[in-house]
Structure 1
Amino acid sequence: MDQKHRDILRSNRIHLVMNLKPSELYDRLIEGGIFSQDMIDEIKSSGTRRDQARQLLCDLETRGRRAFPCFIQCLRDTGQQDLAGLLLGGEPASPPPIRPLVQPPVRPLAPLTPAVRPVLQPLPVSSPFDDSHAKDIAPLCPRQRPSTTPSPSPEGEYTRPRRTRKDNQSYKMDASPCGHCLIINNVKFEPNTDLKNRKGSDIDCDKLEKRFKSLNFIVTVKTNLKYKQIRHHLAELSKKDHSLFDCCVVIILSHGTEVSHNRFPGAVHGVDGPAVPVQFITNYLNGQHCPTLQGKPKLFFIQACGGDQTDTGFEVSPDEVTPGVGGAGDEMDAMPMSSSSDSLSTSDELDARATLPTPSDILVSYSTSPGFVSWRDPLSGSWYVEILDRILGEHAVTDDLVTMLMMVNNEVSQNSAKGLYKQMPGNFNFLRKFLYFQTQSQRQTSA
């Protein structure tokens, strides 16, 4: 879609979301070749009429140059000429004038009488060396703060204790097994996609499979999935009964790209080329579409590019950074972006909810920033997965997930690809509580 048409849609987004009737457009958009039936089904599953309108407008920007004129024609054909006129240069109907509030008459204030100030008696002054009144005065003791210096153990070594878990501040994570973990590992891409095979991804997959099994998850690995197969396996996962479990994890290792969005950026490619937006991936497990996971943490780890931009970083003092492990042979998991995203998220309006917000209890951890490439070593795997696996192994006993992801961000940011390019992971965190994984040592202690 041309940038001018994209700007028109964005500048009128609020009015469109409030007034658009998306259900009347679906058949015509399919007939015009703008959307496939699968894509329309995804839009329908996004929720209320406003949610569907919002999702339709976001996806429309990714559907090429014919999308805007076809959308205009569909509006006309379905009796929504006012919206078509708005997008072609008209103005939305002006809201009714707001009547000014009638102010009650102001009563004159009574004259002020001078306030009678109390007579202040001076306190007796004594020398700091005069202790004659010390017995009558309570000593002022400053509050003692807990020492941050660790006390040595009897053996002379300090082991940092696991943070005290409070039931109202931490997720319940003691079910055995803890939950399902689905890993989608796309390595070999079809020749007509112009996507290179992802050498080293099997190394990432093996590490994460072993790691999440050690954290007491039921791990399922799916390899080289096409677009429809990715959606199929996510739908299957959402239909499972998670009542006896405390958590659910989805890990996707693939090529990625940037797409328009209103909540979670990025998309991951099937081996046949088309990309599934991360926003759709999270929708399968949200509180609306997977009732047995309501109130439970849903974790998504995405090893894929967020776009095709490379980051050369900026200069810092030598004591702020340690040498990284990146090498000259590192590859990127990128595809040219299908559309640009002006911000990390776009909010059209505030919708009051009587229950928990739909994206609550979701965390999406990205290997790189939106719009930028993600680096992978063909021999040792991706930077992000290598460091994530090690941090989980070293710190899951003592630290919560968000703290560990901050450690991952720090270490990955210090790597350099080909001596020049940088990478900055990040996460979109909608968790409401601390999350502590189960570890083998804790299970053995409690057994």
Structure 2
Amino acid sequence: MEDRHRKILRTNRSSLVKELKPSELYDGLLSRGVFTQDMIDEIQSAGTRRDQARQLVRDLETRGKCAFPAFLECLREAGQNQLAGLLQGGETLPRPFPTPSPPVILPLPVDLPKDVDKYDKGDGPLRQYDPQNPEKLNPILVQNPNKDSLNLRPVARPRHDSLQSYKMDANPCGYCLIINNVDFDPQSGLNTRKGSDIDCNKLEKRFKSLNFIVIVKKNLKQKQIRHELSALSKKDHSPYDCCVVIILSHGTEASNSRFPGAVYGVDGAPAVSVEVITNYFNGQHCPSLQGKPKLFFIQACGGGKSDMGFEMSPSETRPSIGDLGDETDAIPGSSSSDSLSTSDETDARVTLPTPSDILVSYSTFPGYVSWRAKETGSWYVEILDRVLEENADTVDLVNMLMMVNDRVSQNSALGVYKQMPGSFNFLRMLLYFQVLPQCQS
């Protein structure tokens, strides 16, 4: 597909997912050779109408240069003229080359089994599905009455293992709160987090490009962090599809039952546990986010341990980055939850409802430090931003986070220390971000 047509599809993706009726287009797209029957079956197995529309548009971008004009023709034939006009935008598009009709081949007369409708032509011996197990995918062998004169195989069945996707086409998509703690009270014993402003600026631009309402708060004390989280949870999220919270700060370990770790305010008061942070947005405290994805990105240390990694074979090694100026977001001289007060440990064990539709992405493994460069920002945020830029329009969030894990794991601090991000994923479906057209590469 030509780049200009691909951009038109991406620009109007939200409208297509909302309005497109895929079932009315399948025959036309099949007859024009845009999709094969297997591809149509795969799209149909995606789930709801919205999911099928999203999959259809995504697959359409991978087809040839005639796919876009053929898609417009199919829209008009199906009476979906409003979408066709939206995509065409007054542009005169060439009509696709007609797909030649396949030649008619008359088969030689053969004696077929009475239940031949269970079969399809192909390679290999005669097979059929076990009638006692109609859903069984592995066929059983049957004696072929015509020996080698006829080879048959079972008819392909559509797949039903595709996950559905969250609705993510609201405009705007939702709120994104970024808490950026840089300058800490000298009495807290916590160092200034040089490079964090770079992280904050990257993430603010990135999530605006993903159609979020971005709210940035800087240098918050412990009580102010709680206040901002509470205020966001009390907003009406009914018009939106998602909510994002990003915290850039010093951190530590914390007692927990589901989500490890805790983050500090600039006053150094008892840290706010990640479990408490997510609790503000559960079904009880934030009903308008019920069933919607709630995403948390934590750039902070999970403790004071430093990972020196393990030796790899030469064939597995890849170039690593990092320099002598890299710092950590750990508490100086502390590597455990001993520094937390009794009251904060109680908060960290607050019982939560089932944490469905929540994903918490950590910059580092629980208990370990997280590295940050003064000039370029933290490893985690730098790579997260790059992965979102390169893949957000086509790849779901969980797969992108695995890309982040892999790339961050290749970095080295001081030529020795490593970092391994990870996430606690309680999402029930795939999550694809919106990407605003002016921000696409």
1:316 aligns with one of 308, 312, 316: 312
Distance in structure 1 (CA, Å) of the matches to 2:386 and 2:439: 20
C-alpha displacement of 1:325: 1.4
Secondary structure of the equivalent of 2:361?
strand
Q: CA deviation at 1:288?
A: 1.6
| Alignment-mate amino acid for residue 262 of structure 1 | S
Which amino acid counterpart does residue 392 of structure 2 have in structure 1?
A: A
* In structure 2, C-alpha distance between the alignment counterparts of 1:418 and 1:136, rounded to whole Å: 69
Q: Are 1:288 and 1:358, in contact at CA under 8 Å, matched by a contact in 2? A: no
Could you say which structure has the larger radius of gyration? Answer: 1
Structure 1 unaligned regions, length at least 5: 1-127, 147-164, 341-350
Unaligned runs of 5+ in 2: 1-124, 126-143, 339-350
**Aligned equivalent of 2:324:** 328
| Alignment of structure 1 residues 262-273 onto 2, 5 Å | 262-273=257-268
Residue 139 (structure 1) aligned with residue 135 (structure 2) = no
**1:273-422 map, 5 Å:** 273-274=268-269, 275-335=271-331, 336-339=334-337, 357-422=353-418
Identify the range of structure 1 (379-388 vs 328-337) with the bigger mean alpha-carbon deviation: 328-337
Question: Is the contact made by 2:326 and 2:374 (CA closer than 8 Å) also made in structure 1?
Answer: yes
Aligned residue type for 1:330: D
Matched, 1:427 2:439: no
Name the structure 2 match of 1:172: 167
1:375 and 1:382 in contact (8 A); partners too: yes
Once the 2 structures are TM-superposed, how far is the Cα of residue 286 of structure 1 from its aligned partner?
Answer: 1.1
TM-score by length of 1: 0.60
Q: Secondary structure at the match of 2:165?
A: coil
**Structure 1 counterpart of 2:187, which letter?**
N
Contact 1:181 1:251 in 2 (8 A): yes
TM-score, reference length from structure 2: 0.60
Partner of 2:254: 259
Percent identity for Structure 1 against Structure 2: 71
CA distance in 1, matches of 2:435, 2:281: 24
Residues 433-444 of structure 1: pairs in structure 2 closer than 5 A = 433-441=429-437
Residues 145 and 383 of structure 1: is their aligned pair in 2 closer, same or farther, counting only changes over 3 Å? farther
Deviation at 1:318, TM superposition (A): 2.1
Task: Provide the rounded CA distance (Å) in 1 between the counterparts of 2:147 and 2:423.
Answer: 59
Amino acid in the other structure paired with 1:199? K
Secondary structure of 2:337's counterpart equals coil
TM-fit CA distance, 1:370 = 0.1
Deviates more, 1:203-212 or 1:315-324: 315-324
**In 2, Cα distance between equivalents of 1:199 and 1:360:** 35
**Cα distance in 1 between the residues matched to 2:429 and 2:408:** 25
- Tell me how far apart the structure 1 counterparts of residues 362 and 240 of structure 2 sit (CA, whole Å): 25
> Separation in 1 of the partners of 2:320 and 2:284?
42
State the SS of the aligned residue for 2:296: strand
Per-residue CA deviations over 1:262-294 (Å, capped at 9, x if unaligned) read: 110000000000210000000001112100000
Q: Alignment RMSD, CA only?
A: 2.8
Distance apart, 1:329 and its partner CA: 1.0
Q: Which amino acid aligns with 2:191?
A: K
SS at match of 2:424: strand
Alpha carbons of 1:144 and 1:314: their partners in 2 closer, same or farther (altered >3 Å)? farther
**Are the aligned partners of 1:259 and 1:337 in contact in 2 as well (CA < 8 Å)?**
no
Q: CA offsets per residue over residues 308-342 of structure 1, 9 Å max, x none?
A: 000000001122231111111100000113427xx
The CA deviation at 1:134 is 3.9
Q: Secondary structure at the residue paired with 1:248? A: strand
Separation (CA, whole Å) in 2 of partners of 1:390 and 1:241 = 31
Amino acid at match of 1:403: N
Structure 1 pair 319–135 and aligned structure 2 pair: CA distance change class (3 A): closer
**Secondary structure, aligned partner of 1:302:** strand
Hey, what does 2:230 align to over in structure 1? 235
* 2:304–2:336 contact (8 Å) kept in structure 1: no
TM-fit CA distance, 1:416: 0.2
Residues 144 and 216 of structure 1: CA distance in aligned 2, closer, same or farther (over 3 Å):
same
SS in 1 for 2:383: helix
Question: Take 2:225 and 2:165, find their aligned partners in 1: how far apart are those partners?
Answer: 31
Amino acid at match of 2:295: L
* 2:188 is the alignment partner of 1:190: no
Q: State the number of aligned residues.
A: 283
Q: 1:208 aligns with which of 193, 203, 217?
A: 203
Q: Could you tell me which residue of structure 1 aligns to residue 221 of structure 2? A: 226
- Structure 2 counterpart SS, 1:218: strand
Distance between the aligned counterparts of 1:136 and 1:391, measured in 2?
Answer: 54
Amino acid at match of 1:266: G
321-330 or 208-217: bigger deviation: 321-330
Task: Name which of structure 1's ranges 329-338 and 171-180 shifts more when overlaid on structure 2.
Answer: 329-338
In structure 2, what residue type is equivalent to 1:404? M
Q: Quote the Cα distance in structure 1 between the aligned partners of 2:315 and 2:382.
A: 24
